[in-house]
Chain A
Amino acid sequence: MSTLSQKKGVGGTIWDFMTTVDHKKIAILYLIAGGIFFLVGGVEALFIRIQLAIPSNDFVSAGTYNEILTMHGTTMIFLAAMPLLFAMMNAVVPLQIGARDVAFPFLNLLGFWLFAFGGLFLNLSWFLGGAPDAGWTSYASLSIASPGHGIDFYAIGLQISGAGTLISGINFLVTIINMRAPGMTYMRMPLFTWTTFVASALILFAFPALTVGLFLMIFDRLFGGNFFDATMGGNTIIWEHLFWIFGHPEVYILILPAFGVFSEILPTFSRKRLFGYSSMVFATVLIGFLGFMVWAHHMFTTGLGPIANAIFAVATMAIAVPTGIKIFNWLFTLWGGSIEFTSPMLYAVAFIPSFVIGGVTGVMAAVAPADYQFQDSYFIVAHFHYVIVGGVVYAILAGVTYWWPKMFGKMLDEKLSKATFWLFLIGFHLTFFIQHFLGLMGMPRRVWTFLPNQGLDLGNAISSSGAAFMAVATLILLVNIIKTTAKGQKVGGDPWGDGRTLEWAISSPPPEYNFKQTPLVRGLDAYWIEKMAGNKEMTPAEPLGDIHMPNSSFIPFMISLGMFIAGIGFLYRNDHAWGDIVGIIGMVVMFLSMFFRSWIDDHGFHIHKEDLVDDDKEAKM
């Protein structure tokens, strides 16, 4: 039965979303959860900038400040940026390849719930004795020594959340490998799908290193392990290696989908195909591959020795080449085009210089001896905010605006979107550009305060002022969302008018089953080709028939809940006798739920041919 004809109350809708295995609804779940965590991380950022607005400030205490900075980074990367990117991947990738869902719909929901429970677990720390306070990188000697349970919330929370991410990574890989519509060869896939593909491969190979690192941390703190205890023969540098073997690919996991978003938006709003498609694909794959070879550039000052430093310096510089290739290909996509400055396009255009600035400071930091000055200073803070905010956040704001009508059937208000864009642009540059110089002038990072008369006062004041702009921009975005949800105008399948890829060939939002008939793909920019040939719709690749759909399930929620309970139990194992017992109960709930899922027969259900034809009539109304 199509969702158009189902009417639900609030309770019914909540249950629907809790148990849905539909990638489009899961995308909305990720959008909401990721959005909430983005606001949390943003508030944490505001507190940081308020504390640093003037020297010797005491807006928050030193210990609390370390918790805020840790949670800001951890929340933004793991609980905001990644889920929001997953929201877009879920909403768009199956549509772009002409599929009806992802390869493993059940696991898709499981991935979401694990992320949500992990994020919840981590943020519970605020209320249960204090958040983690050793930075988002949680280096071993400080984090082993950190009193209270903050770091335990960090390690266990990220472990739960990370399991969800790993599962989702595999899901997208298999979806893209096995479920492309007829005619869609790899080299006819949209760039956003390609970047999702490579980013998912990075997730698959990077997260297990973090998994091991977190387990070693958990073992040392809660189970008497000695991995990082120098007095028992342990070594804290092992944590640094494991963390960055994960951590560097992680930033490419963040930026590649962002590149993909812009590779969709720039062609669409210049009415020109992506310049150098094969080079773009090649560059994406190369960046993904090289991303695993450079991790120790985060450790130049650790004391690995000149040979290691030299090798990693050269390898890091190499990544600039494929990245540069991409920048030029984007510029030449615009060249000769017919550019329309919609709000997604504004972000895409602003991204180019912003990301180039962030990228070049990255190359500067690749020069190891120079990095001896930059490392752990505000120069590095400026660098990564330029690439993450100028790259990933811009892409998220752009992509969410761009695909909002496809997901919800309504367009966000363009005037408000543009206001958000301009305020955010101003605030972003105000806050972070000056930080390059603060670092060069000798200001270390992760500092609760700075002393007067060291030349750092003006720069910090300017930097803090920018935060206000970004906060207002975000509020305007919230108003936009609320206004649109309440009374936005409904739109059709191709609301921006110039859609090139398959997602724009179906209604907004699409029916439950996406494509009534799997489309036949005749080339790159499959929908554009049909439009230029004068066709209103895609040519079907199969006759009309019954459509097989997966069943909803409550079990992903149960599995995640089990893991959450286990986490709580083991966290308190050294404080309470019930710790281990609750931990084991949680694991049992988790395994029993998994067992139950695998034991039963679940063949899904069918939407019958006759209902499909009716749907068509309804959608046209």
Chain B
Amino acid sequence: METEQKLTAETFPASPEKATLEGKNKFTGFWLFLGGETVLFASLFATYLALRNSTMSGPKPEELFDIKLVFAATMILLTSSLTSVYAMYHMKNFEFKKMQLWLGVTWLLGLAFLGLEIYEFRHYVHEGHTFTSSAFGSSFYALVGTHGAHVTFGLLWIGSLMIRNAKRGLNLYNAPKYYVASLYWHFIDVVWVFIFTVVYLMGMVG
């Protein structure tokens, strides 16, 4: 097994996530999975677009959305994507501690995003905009909620990786795991950009 050899910054491959067959497979497989996830979110977007005007007697998007809050959340999530790039940079340079550090920052930013979203949803529920209040309600929470669930899962994932590997350090077996998690994190960031545009920006314009 290649991973038996002691790895150093010099011997660590330039693309550690693809240096083993298992890593290559995970790399390819996960990109494909993201393709499927794209179709999943596209279907949710299509449903939202079809139903976003069916507010019945409930509050309309223009009345609900607070652009300042949503913009802040967007900036936080975008920054967390950037910090995950730093983490991967350090991974390729075999700098385990720095990678863990930047993953930690990513994680905290992700948690902040989630916190803002929970706060936002609680406000909406208070205003009468719930999953069951109308077709708009159902489609809004299905789309934005599914994204939020993905963020939550991502936090559990990255957190577990950091804890699991704290003592193991970096090697060719867990490098693909880190890489794939960062791909996932980028993906949900891209999805958020679309949500910000289609749900919030388009919703404010009416």
> Are B40 and A212 within 8 A (Cβ)?
yes
> Are B36 and A205 within 8 A (Cβ)?
yes
A235–B164 CA distance with the chains assembled, in angstroms: 46
Chain B residues with CB under 8 A of A241? 46
Q: Quick one: given A219-B138, A234-B51, A234-B138, are A209 and B43 in contact (CB under 8 Å)?
A: yes
Q: Quick one: given A233-B135, A234-B138, A598-B160, are A227 and B36 in contact (CB under 8 Å)?
A: no
The chain A residue sitting closest to B40, CB to CB, is: A208
Interface centre among B32, B131, B134 (most CB of A within 10 A): B32
Q: Which residues of chain A (503-539) have a CB below 8 Å from chain B?
A: none
Min CB–CB distance A432 → chain B (angstroms): 34
* B36 CB contact (under 8 Å) in A174, A204, A245, A599: A204
A508–B29 CA distance with the chains assembled, in angstroms: 31
> Are A229 and B39 within 8 A (Cβ)?
no
> Are B25 and A174 within 8 A (Cβ)?
yes
The reply on A173 being an interface residue by CB < 8 A is yes
Q: Which residues of chain B (34-61) have a CB below 8 Å from chain A?
A: 35-37, 39-40, 43-44, 46-47, 50-51, 53-56
Chain A residues with CB under 8 A of B51? 227, 233-235, 238
The reply on B96 being an interface residue by CB < 8 A is no
A215–B141 CA distance with the chains assembled, in angstroms: 13
Min CB–CB distance B22 → chain A (angstroms): 9
The reply on B28 being an interface residue by CB < 8 A is yes
> Are A213 and B138 within 8 A (Cβ)?
no
The reply on B136 being an interface residue by CB < 8 A is yes
Chain B residues with CB under 8 A of A205? 35-36, 39
The reply on B197 being an interface residue by CB < 8 A is no
Min CB–CB distance A88 → chain B (angstroms): 22
Chain A residues with CB under 8 A of B55? 233
A208–B142 CA distance with the chains assembled, in angstroms: 14
A533–B40 CA distance with the chains assembled, in angstroms: 50
Q: Quick one: given A233-B56, A603-B1, are A104 and B29 in contact (CB under 8 Å)?
A: yes
What is the number of residues of chain A that contact chain B, defined by CB distance less than 8 Å?
A: 43
The reply on A4 being an interface residue by CB < 8 A is no
Secondary structure type dominating chain B contacts: helix
The reply on B139 being an interface residue by CB < 8 A is yes
Number of A-B contacts (CB under 8 A): 114
The reply on B173 being an interface residue by CB < 8 A is yes
A209–B44 CA distance with the chains assembled, in angstroms: 9
What 1/0 flags go to A177-215 for Cβ under 8 Å of B? Answer: 111000000000000000000000000111111011101
Q: Quick one: given A212-B47, A233-B54, A233-B55, are A103 and B29 in contact (CB under 8 Å)?
A: yes
Q: Which residues of chain B (111-168) have a CB below 8 Å from chain A?
A: 131-132, 134-139, 142, 160, 164
The reply on A470 being an interface residue by CB < 8 A is no
A224–B131 CA distance with the chains assembled, in angstroms: 8
Min CB–CB distance B2 → chain A (angstroms): 11
> Are B142 and A219 within 8 A (Cβ)?
yes
Q: Quick one: given A207-B36, A232-B56, are A601 and B173 in contact (CB under 8 Å)?
A: yes
Chain B residues with CB under 8 A of A85? none
A291–B54 CA distance with the chains assembled, in angstroms: 32
The reply on B9 being an interface residue by CB < 8 A is no
The reply on B205 being an interface residue by CB < 8 A is no
> Are B135 and A232 within 8 A (Cβ)?
yes
A232–B54 CA distance with the chains assembled, in angstroms: 8
Chain B residues with CB under 8 A of A595? 160
A601–B53 CA distance with the chains assembled, in angstroms: 50
The reply on A134 being an interface residue by CB < 8 A is no
Min CB–CB distance B10 → chain A (angstroms): 24
The reply on A158 being an interface residue by CB < 8 A is no
Chain B residues with CB under 8 A of A598? 160, 164, 177
The reply on A324 being an interface residue by CB < 8 A is no
Min CB–CB distance B76 → chain A (angstroms): 26
Q: Quick one: given A170-B29, A208-B36, are A227 and B131 in contact (CB under 8 Å)?
A: no
> Are B40 and A226 within 8 A (Cβ)?
no
Q: Which residues of chain A (343-380) have a CB below 8 Å from chain B?
A: none
The reply on A282 being an interface residue by CB < 8 A is no
The reply on B33 being an interface residue by CB < 8 A is yes
Chain B residues with CB under 8 A of A26? none
Interface centre among B1, B25, B135 (most CB of A within 10 A): B135
> Are A216 and B47 within 8 A (Cβ)?
yes
> Are A232 and B24 within 8 A (Cβ)?
no
Q: Quick one: given A233-B136, A235-B51, A598-B177, are A215 and B142 in contact (CB under 8 Å)?
A: yes
* B28 CB contact (under 8 Å) in A178, A207, A220, A238: A178
Chain B residues with CB under 8 A of A603? 1, 173
The chain A residue sitting closest to B143, CB to CB, is: A212
Q: Which residues of chain A (223-247) have a CB below 8 Å from chain B?
A: 223-227, 229, 232-235, 238, 241-242, 245
Chain A residues with CB under 8 A of B37? 208
Q: Quick one: given A174-B28, A209-B39, A238-B47, are A227 and B138 in contact (CB under 8 Å)?
A: yes
The reply on A109 being an interface residue by CB < 8 A is no
The reply on A612 being an interface residue by CB < 8 A is no
The chain A residue sitting closest to B55, CB to CB, is: A233
A216–B136 CA distance with the chains assembled, in angstroms: 13
Interface centre among A227, A548, A603 (most CB of B within 10 A): A227
The reply on A92 being an interface residue by CB < 8 A is no
Chain A residues with CB under 8 A of B47? 212, 216, 227, 238, 242
> Are B40 and A170 within 8 A (Cβ)?
no
The reply on A166 being an interface residue by CB < 8 A is yes
A207–B46 CA distance with the chains assembled, in angstroms: 16
A315–B115 CA distance with the chains assembled, in angstroms: 47
Chain B residues with CB under 8 A of A216? 47, 142
Q: Which residues of chain A (565-621) have a CB below 8 Å from chain B?
A: 595, 598-599, 601, 603
> Are B43 and A245 within 8 A (Cβ)?
yes
A204–B32 CA distance with the chains assembled, in angstroms: 8
A216–B47 CA distance with the chains assembled, in angstroms: 10
Interface centre among A177, A234, A599 (most CB of B within 10 A): A234
List 25 interface pairs A-B (beta carbons < 8 Å), by A numbering.
A170-B33, A170-B36, A171-B29, A178-B21, A178-B24, A204-B35, A205-B35, A208-B39, A208-B43, A209-B43, A212-B40, A212-B44, A213-B43, A216-B142, A226-B137, A233-B135, A233-B136, A234-B54, A234-B135, A235-B51, A238-B47, A242-B43, A245-B43, A599-B160, A599-B164
What 6 pairs across the A-B complex have the smallest Cβ distances? A233-B54, A233-B135, A208-B40, A212-B43, A224-B132, A208-B39
For the complex with contacts A171-B29, A219-B138, 18 further pairs of A-B residues with Cβ separation under 8 Å are A173-B29, A174-B25, A174-B28, A174-B32, A178-B25, A204-B36, A211-B40, A224-B132, A225-B142, A226-B134, A226-B137, A227-B135, A227-B139, A233-B51, A234-B138, A242-B43, A598-B164, A598-B177
Interface, chain B (partner A; CB < 8 A)? 1, 21, 24-25, 28-29, 32-33, 35-37, 39-40, 43-44, 46-47, 50-51, 53-56, 131-132, 134-139, 142, 160, 164, 173, 177
